[in-house]
Chains A and B, each alone.
Chain A
């Protein structure tokens, strides 16, 4: 398995659903290849940064007000 296919599997998320043999091959590749290890680390960090950013941006008070506003907009005959 070469670096290109490992990088492709990692960034598509297909490594999660790959056969055990393929997953083993990826792990072996990681053992030998610091470049792909680094690439996988960057891809993981990007997901985590998106997640932390989205959670940090959330405003609990604004959400509580939005919830009230939404409930007021629901027609009484519907519920």
Chain B
């Protein structure tokens, strides 16, 4: 999915600085689909995701003179995207279920750390098929920052280092966000009765 290696596009960066139009078109072609997909994954509707995506690139252009190329162009674009999504979601005033996922996770194990509520045995390919129709609904229950970390990791295939740069977070925090997002999704799917049997 992600074809270019992160933190390695210095020639693109120099061409952008020189205001070369083809370089700009290349950046848009390369990242616009990813930016829209991520905005959708983060919970914005199609129209709002498109508006936010345009704002991201216009902001990127306006700030280009200040960009020193210490991070990858993509990381910078996604940092802008992350802030724009946060703004848009504040306007949407979406509330998310805040039942503590850490407590839910722990409740599945006994004091020795063995499963007391084990994952149900069954056909995993059936499970994979059954969850597809519920995924989007369950994503709504994942808090914004965790959801963004999950989308960048699973949908866009970002490495942890780049997620840290986009979200301005420590690697340990990103691990916790991913842990919570994945277990919240799994718990939501379980509550919907997905068993893969």
Contact = CB atoms under 8 A, between A and B. Distances in A.
Contacts of B127: 41-42, 45
Given A5-B113, A49-B128, A62-B46, A14 B32 contact: no
Contacts of B108: 7
Nearest to A66: B50
A36 B121 CA distance: 11
- Which label, helix, strand, loop or mixed, suits the secondary structure of the B interface? helix
B160 A35 contact: no
A3 interface: yes
Contact of B135 (A34, A36, A50, A58): A50
A35 B36 contact: no
A38 B121 contact: yes
B37 interface: yes
Interface of B: 1, 19-21, 24-25, 28-29, 32-33, 36-37, 40-41, 46, 50, 53-54, 57-58, 61-62, 105-106, 108-109, 112-115, 118-121, 124, 127-128, 131-132, 135-136, 139, 150-151, 153-155, 160, 175-176, 178-179, 182-183, 185-186, 189
